[in-house]
Amino acid sequence: MFSSGTTDSPFTKTNEEAVKSLLVITGSPPYNPYYEDFKITVDTYLDKEPFNFPNPFNCTRKITVYAAYLYDAVMLYAKAAHETIEEGNAITNGTAIIQKILGSNYTGQ
């Protein structure tokens, strides 16, 4: 565990070991030319199964950037998982999947 109290030094052996398994994936502001199309598609799908999120006033819904982040994360994972399976590794081989994700880039389309 990272820190059991606020007085723990961040430079302890325990904290050093905890940080070794830390993976940070950061999003960037949407700059893809298809981002507006993506928001329209999300809005359209919200009315359909399995979401059934009605828009009774037929107004424009605010589609946050987090929808795009989630989509990109799922696509990045799926691409890495597919490549892992294609190479003959098991889908349960998380290490191989993470190795595919690390250092990779994904541009949503």
Q: Tens digits of per-residue pLDDT, 38-51?
A: 999 999 999 999 99
pTM over 0.75: no
73: three-class secondary structure by DSSP: helix
Instruction: Check residue 2 and give its pLDDT.
Output: 47
103 backbone φψ class: left, alpha, beta (φ>0; ψ -120 to 50)? left
Q: List the domain boundaries for the chain.
A: 27-101
Could you give the C-alpha distances from 61 to 54, 67, 68, 70, in angstroms and in order? 10, 13, 15, 18
* pLDDT for position 1: 47
Please check whether residue 76 is in contact with residue 104, taking contact to mean a CB–CB distance below 8 angstroms.
yes
